[in-house]
Amino acid sequence: MIDKFVSSVAAAVADIGDGATVMIGGFGTSGIPSELIDALIEQGAKELTVVNNNAGNGDVGLAALLKARRVRKIICSFPRQIDSHVFDALFRAGDIELELVPQGNLAERIRAAGAGIGAFFTPTAYGTLLAEGKETRLIDGRHHVLEYPIHADFALIKADRADRWGNLVYRKAARNFGPIMASAARCTIVQVREAVPLGALDPEAIVTPGIFVQRVVPIVGVAALAMPQAVA
């Protein structure tokens, strides 16, 4: 019987090696696989390349991973935030490499990796600093930039419910990068609020079919995140 449930976050991330490329889902307060990130910090892998929309907030989660100096390079769209002081300091000191990617190109490059697309022409960022040195082409009257897929060794994502085949559904805007990161990684590790029996998820409403998922860890007894005060 196929059972993708893993009993602990520690077991789930045990084989992430030094130098691995790790995608981490989440956007703002939604969809962050906090317990998996903490387990990765605990586990100790270093020289990582991390793919995330941001570069860490405050001193927890991804910021803590950065602070522990485990990340060689980050690929993201929006590193600079009001509370990105950990990243800011590392970047200013030249201690972390940054590949800045427009958010939609980031999403599409991740999707392309999962879909086996070798490269694609996108109009986003044409003529800007972020397209410097990249191949361009005029197609049907519109300028485009050639972008390549972003593959990962591991993806750490958060979903709402999963069954033992690894089928996933998400909750509201916490879906964000989850489905595409799951498709782009060799090994996708998911933390979920609830493990459900096979058949409990509507086949019409499964967002990530189990083919994209290798390991699922139910995080039991965690209360919903408190909503932080909105910042200006």
93 binds, among other proteins, its own copies, none (CB under 5 to 8 A by kind): none
Report the nearest approach of other proteins to the CB of residue 92 (Å): 8
Contacting its own copies within 11-50 (CB under 8 A): none
> According to CB under 8 A, which one of 11, 14, 89, 119 is a site residue for its own copies?
119
Please identify, among the stretches 26-34, 43-51, 169-177, 213-221, the one whose residues bind its own copies according to the rule CB under 8 A: 169-177
118 in contact with its own copies (CB under 8 A): yes
135-168 as b/e, with b when 16 or more CB fall inside 10 Å? eeeeeeeeebbebebbbbbbbbbbbbbbbbbbbb
119 binds, among its own copies, other proteins, none (CB under 5 to 8 A by kind): its own copies
211 in contact with its own copies (CB under 8 A): no
Query: Token match 């910021």: residue?
Result: 63
Residue 119's closest CA among 99, 102, 138, 136?
136
Report the nearest approach of other proteins to the CB of residue 43 (Å): 25
Q: Count CA within 13 A, CB hemisphere, residue 34.
A: 14
- What is the SS3 assignment for 52-112? CCECCCCCCCHHHHHHCCCEEEEEECECCCCCCHHHHHHHHCCCCEEEECCHHHHHHHHHH
110 in contact with its own copies (CB under 8 A): no
Report the nearest approach of its own copies to the CB of residue 158 (Å): 15
121 binds, among other proteins, its own copies, none (CB under 5 to 8 A by kind): its own copies
Between 23 and 159, CB nearer to its own copies: 159
Query: Token match 């996933």: residue?
Result: 168
> According to CB under 8 A, which one of 98, 117, 195, 196 is a site residue for its own copies?
117
Cα–Cα distance, 71 to 109 (Å, whole number): 21
